[in-house]
């Protein structure tokens, strides 16, 4: 599929969609962390274990943001490959 400019363009669009979804997830987790930061410091689970939920949400927010950057990098790479294929076919 990706051995053509159109294939690389489709892959680039796919990775851009993934990146957008991951950025949205990162924002959701960041918003939840901000909210939890305003709540009482200790929350207990059913097992009686306290949880620092704010740090968990911040961790996953950062993780989603990092994955979004990776997806953007892949999208840019496939856009460049599509351009390379187009210019190669023009020069031949």
Cα–Cα distance for residue pair 51/33, rounded to 1 Å: 13
Comparing C-alpha atoms, which of 27, 8, 33 is closest to residue 68? 27
**Which one has a higher pLDDT value, 88 or 91?**
88
Rounded to the nearest angstrom, the gap between the alpha carbon of residue 19 and the centroid of all alpha carbons in its chain is 4
Q: What is the mean pLDDT of the chain?
A: 88
Contacts of 72 (CB under 8 A, 6+ apart): 15, 16, 19
Q: What is the pTM of this model?
A: 0.80
**Tell me: the pLDDT tens digits for 37-76?**
887 765 555 666 566 789 999 999 999 999 999 999 999 9
3-state secondary structure of 51: strand
How many other CB atoms are there within 10 angstroms of residue 52's CB atom? 12
Q: What is the pLDDT of residue 43?
A: 56
70: tokens are: 């990776």
Q: What is the pLDDT of residue 79?
A: 96
Q: What is the pLDDT of residue 71?
A: 98
């Amino acid at each position: 599929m990706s051995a053509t400019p159109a294939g690389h363009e489709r892959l680039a669009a796919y990775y851009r969609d993934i990146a957008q979804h991951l950025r949205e997830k990162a924002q959701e987790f960041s918003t939840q962390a901000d909210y939890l930061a305003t709540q009482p410091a200790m929350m207990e689970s059913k097992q009686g274990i306290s949880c620092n939920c704010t740090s968990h949400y911040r961790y996953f927010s950062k993780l989603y943001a990092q994955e979004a950057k990776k997806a953007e990098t892949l999208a840019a790479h496939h856009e460049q490959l599509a351009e390379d294929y187009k210019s190669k076919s023009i020069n031949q």
